[in-house]
Amino acid sequence: MDTFDCIATKFDIREFSEKQVPSDIQQRILEAARLTGSGLNTQHWRLILVRDKENLRKLANDSYSGGWVSNAAFAIIVLTNPKHNFHMIDAGRVIQDMQLAAWNYGVASCLFTGINKDALSNDFEIPKDLNITAVVGFGYAGSNPAKWKKNRISIKDIVSIEKYGKAG
């Protein structure tokens, strides 16, 4: 898929079908993460691949805004090292690369950040020095996004020319 089309057609999807995602596609998504550039090339992110149904339910229970992940085919917990002040930027990049790689293969996804960190840390044995930054759930979409429209503000609302607030 053309990169622009991939960005333009992707939605964050929280309803998934029962269909499993082949493991070679899961690996491609992880490879997209591995290939992502990070600040100073630190590559401090660590990912936990969660496929077990019971563990997906634990992820849902450990969240405030991601209960839908229990129906995902798999999920990836994104851990970053907060000693790098740019760690959240890196997280955003690695998440978006994984989501776009998935969408390229027809796999939908969404992320959540409302996490009960103590509970999740305990359930997944996460080291104390890593920040639990987000969880991304993946699976084939449960409903057809082809007719959905993006709800976004206009270019003129976000872009200034040369100086802040100056329209073109």
Ligand X SMILES: Cc1cc2nc3c(=O)[nH]c(=O)nc-3n(C[C@H](O)[C@H](O)[C@H](O)COP(=O)(O)O)c2cc1C
Contact residues toward ligand X (CB under 6 A) are 11-12, 14, 65-66, 110-114, 150-151
Closest CB to ligand X among 153 and 167? 153
Q: How far is the CB of 152 from ligand X (least distance, A)?
A: 7
Q: How far is the CB of 168 from ligand X (least distance, A)?
A: 26
C-alpha 74/C-alpha 157 separation (Å) is 37
**Class of residue 81 by CB neighbours under 10 A (exposed 0-12, middle 13-18, buried 19+):** middle
Q: Name 168's Cβ contacts closer than 8 Å, sequence gap at least 6.
A: 156, 159, 161
β-strand partners of 135:
77, 112
Closest CB to ligand X among 92 and 167? 92
Q: How far is the CB of 64 from ligand X (least distance, A)?
A: 7
Q: For residue 89, which of 32, 39, 150 has the smallest C-alpha distance?
A: 39
Q: How far is the CB of 106 from ligand X (least distance, A)?
A: 16
Closest CB to ligand X among 43 and 96? 96
Q: Name 69's Cβ contacts closer than 8 Å, sequence gap at least 6.
A: 56, 59, 60, 63, 75, 112, 135, 137
Closest CB to ligand X among 27 and 65? 65
Closest CB to ligand X among 78 and 130? 78
Q: How far is the CB of 23 from ligand X (least distance, A)?
A: 26
